[in-house]
């Protein structure tokens, strides 16, 4: 019992050596504070995802110019979730394992946000989503999950009100792709349409399919509006294929279609006159956003979708880290949730409620004109 064998001794020696090794990188990691940008960087949603990552990088650079946070430099850790839950979870595990990461701007697809937030919750890592709009994202009562965008149960009904009151829809064909986010909006649209006494017919397509003509041909000809709760590439195809089945109706869709390249350009002119609801007002009309738009466009090209929301999310996280004053994930998490009246570039103060939803959502309606979107209306949801 008292004497150690040589084997035991060598085991101890190795253990001590390993211990020293693990200490060394930890010291190095102290040198930078990291925030993660988790979005689809490849695949069909890469365009929107890259804008989010770029906006986070811009925020980090601006902070770095002012000396960083906690006296350290800020680095952005990009994580590609491909808009796919399995890939997202793997990416989230990697982010959570990096001790230097203190917060994450994550997700434009609800289907990915939900499992990712659970992974990050386990290590008390806060996330703010710029574009995950499904109610379940915040309704699960996770302490770490917040969002700066409106919820589907705000966006769907607002879109329906706009469709019925402004576009005089009498019979609506509602499309979704069966995944969490788009289906959630479509459910809300159907519910609200019923309340307003308008008939809503449901159709499900599969995202990634390219030929929707057979489904479109089954839409009755007396439908006078299509609510396409779909992502931009799919919506562009629907817009293009509508004439093939002799349907000549306008389309309206949620935030996932607010993409000039993948929706307007990809539709080859077929989307002209269609409507899209979005979570950000027209930045050209907000003085506070001028500097952001200028800085972003100088480096990464036009701001077109979730960039402004991602920029706000990154700034809120960095403000929270600054307020906490130390690299403590749990404290940062609570400080983010406690954000009240953060004044950023959107022209309105941002505050999170108990669930992590942004208080007081406004939905903005845009019409496709030429190669861009023009804001035509704003609806405030209770």
Partner 1 sequence: MAGVLAILPQQIVFGLALGTVYGLVALGYTMVYGVLFMINFAHGEIFMIGAYVGWWVLALLLKAQVGALHPAWVVPLMLLHAMLFAGLLGVGLERFAYRPLYLRGATRLGPLISAIGASIFLQNAVMLSQGARMKVYMTSLLFPRTWRIQIAGASVSLLVIVMIVVAGLMMWGLHLLVQRTKLGRSIRAVAEDREMATIMGVNVRRVIAVTFFLGSALGGAGGVLVGLYYTQIDFFMGYSAGLKAFTAAVLGGIGNIRGAMLGGLILGLVESLAVTFMNPAYKDVVAFVILIVVLVFRPMGLLGENVAEREKV
Closer to partner 1 at the Cβ: 269 or 349? 269
Contact assessment for residue 113 and residue 140, using Cβ atoms and an 8 Å cutoff: no
Let me know how long the chain is: 382
The tokens 């108990």 sit on which residue? 354
Establish if 47 lies at the interface with partner 1 (CB under 8 A). yes
Establish if 42 lies at the interface with partner 1 (CB under 8 A). yes
User: Cα(125)–Cα(340) distance, rounded to whole angstroms?
Assistant: 20
> Least separation, in Å, of the C-beta of 202 and partner 1?
9
User: Cα(321)–Cα(103) distance, rounded to whole angstroms?
Assistant: 9
Query: Total residues contacting partner 1 (rule CB under 8 A)?
Result: 35
Long-range contacts of 121-127 (CB under 8 A, 24+ apart): 121/145, 122/96, 123/96, 123/329, 124/329, 124/330, 124/333, 125/95, 125/96, 125/101, 125/329, 125/333, 126/102, 126/317, 126/320, 126/329, 126/332, 126/333, 126/336, 126/337, 127/38, 127/103
> Least separation, in Å, of the C-beta of 283 and partner 1?
24
Establish if 338 lies at the interface with partner 1 (CB under 8 A). no
Closer to partner 1 at the Cβ: 117 or 229? 229
Q: Is 273 exposed, middle or buried, given 0-12, 13-18 or 19+ CB atoms closer than 10 A?
A: exposed
Positions 168 through 197 that interact with partner 1 (CB under 8 A): 178
Establish if 204 lies at the interface with partner 1 (CB under 8 A). yes
Closer to partner 1 at the Cβ: 243 or 370? 243
Contact assessment for residue 134 and residue 110, using Cβ atoms and an 8 Å cutoff: yes
Q: How far is CA 171 from the centre of its chain?
A: 30
Closer to partner 1 at the Cβ: 82 or 134? 82
Establish if 215 lies at the interface with partner 1 (CB under 8 A). yes
Q: How far apart are the first and last CA of the chain?
A: 73
Establish if 208 lies at the interface with partner 1 (CB under 8 A). yes
Closer to partner 1 at the Cβ: 265 or 375? 265
Closer to partner 1 at the Cβ: 237 or 327? 237
> Least separation, in Å, of the C-beta of 176 and partner 1?
10
> Least separation, in Å, of the C-beta of 255 and partner 1?
19
In the list 61, 165, 211, 374, the residue contacting partner 1 (rule: CB under 8 A) is 211
In the list 158, 205, 276, 313, the residue contacting partner 1 (rule: CB under 8 A) is 205
> Least separation, in Å, of the C-beta of 22 and partner 1?
34
3-state helix, strand, coil in the chain (%, to 5): 45, 20, 35
Closer to partner 1 at the Cβ: 44 or 360? 44
Establish if 217 lies at the interface with partner 1 (CB under 8 A). yes
In the list 56, 77, 132, 237, the residue contacting partner 1 (rule: CB under 8 A) is 237
Closest of 305, 296, 277, 292 to residue 345, by C-alpha: 292
Contact assessment for residue 366 and residue 283, using Cβ atoms and an 8 Å cutoff: no
In the list 9, 122, 206, 284, the residue contacting partner 1 (rule: CB under 8 A) is 206
Closer to partner 1 at the Cβ: 41 or 95? 41
Positions 255 through 274 that interact with partner 1 (CB under 8 A): 262, 265-266, 268-270
Closer to partner 1 at the Cβ: 165 or 211? 211
Contact assessment for residue 90 and residue 84, using Cβ atoms and an 8 Å cutoff: no
Establish if 203 lies at the interface with partner 1 (CB under 8 A). yes
**Helix (H/G/I), strand (E/B), else coil: 362:** strand
Establish if 68 lies at the interface with partner 1 (CB under 8 A). no
> Least separation, in Å, of the C-beta of 42 and partner 1?
4
Establish if 15 lies at the interface with partner 1 (CB under 8 A). no
Closer to partner 1 at the Cβ: 8 or 244? 244
Q: Is 238 exposed, middle or buried, given 0-12, 13-18 or 19+ CB atoms closer than 10 A?
A: buried
The per-residue DSSP string of 99-164 comes to TTEEEEEE-S-HHHHHHHHHHHHHTT-EEEESS---THHHHT--TTEEESS--HHHHHHHHHHIII
Contact assessment for residue 378 and residue 365, using Cβ atoms and an 8 Å cutoff: yes
Q: Where do contacts with partner 1 occur on this chain (CB under 8 A)?
A: 41-44, 46-47, 178, 203-206, 208-211, 213-215, 217-218, 220, 233, 236-237, 240, 243-246, 262, 265-266, 268-270
């Amino acid at each position: 019992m008292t004497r150690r064998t040589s084997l035991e001794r060598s085991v101890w020696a190795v253990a001590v050596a390993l211990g020293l090794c693990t200490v060394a990188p930890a010291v190095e990691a102290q040198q930078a504070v990291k925030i993660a940008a988790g979005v689809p960087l490849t695949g069909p949603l890469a365009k929107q995802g890259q804008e989010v990552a770029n906006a986070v990088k811009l925020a980090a650079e601006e902070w770095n110019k002012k000396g960083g946070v906690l006296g350290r430099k800020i680095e952005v850790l990009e994580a590609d979730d491909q808009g796919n839950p399995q890939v997202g979870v793997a990416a989230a595990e990697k982010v959570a394992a990096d001790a230097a990461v203190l917060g994450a701007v994550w997700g434009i697809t609800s289907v990915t946000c939900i499992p990712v937030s659970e992974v990050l919750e386990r290590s008390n890592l806060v996330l703010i989503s710029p574009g995950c709009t499904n109610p379940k994202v915040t309704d699960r009562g996770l302490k770490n999950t917040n969002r700066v965008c409106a919820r589907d149960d705000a966006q769907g009904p607002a879109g329906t009100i706009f469709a019925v009151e402004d576009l005089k829809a009498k019979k609506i064909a509602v499309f979704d792709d069966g995944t969490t986010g788009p289906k959630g909006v479509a459910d809300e649209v159907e519910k609200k349409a019923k309340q307003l006494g308008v008939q809503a017919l449901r159709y499900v397509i599969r995202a990634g399919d390219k030929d929707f003509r057979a489904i479109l041909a089954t839409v009755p000809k007396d439908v006078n509006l299509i609510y396409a709760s779909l992502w931009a590439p799919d919506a562009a195809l629907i817009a293009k294929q509508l004439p093939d089945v002799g349907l000549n109706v306008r389309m309206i869709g949620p935030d996932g279609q607010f993409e000039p390249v993948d929706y307007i350009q990809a539709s080859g002119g077929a989307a002209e006159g269609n409507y899209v609801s979005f979570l950000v007002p027209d930045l050209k009309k907000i003085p506070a956003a001028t500097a952001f738009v200028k800085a972003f466009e100088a480096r990464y090209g036009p701001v077109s979708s979730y960039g402004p929301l991602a920029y706000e999310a990154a700034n809120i996280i960095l403000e929270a880290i600054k307020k906490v004053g130390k690299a403590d994930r749990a404290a940062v998490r609570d400080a983010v949730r406690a954000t009240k009246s953060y004044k950023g570039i959107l022209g309105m103060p941002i505050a999170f409620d108990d669930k992590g939803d942004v208080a007081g959502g406004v939905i903005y309606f845009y019409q496709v004109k030429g190669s861009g979107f023009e804001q035509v209306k704003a609806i405030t949801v209770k």
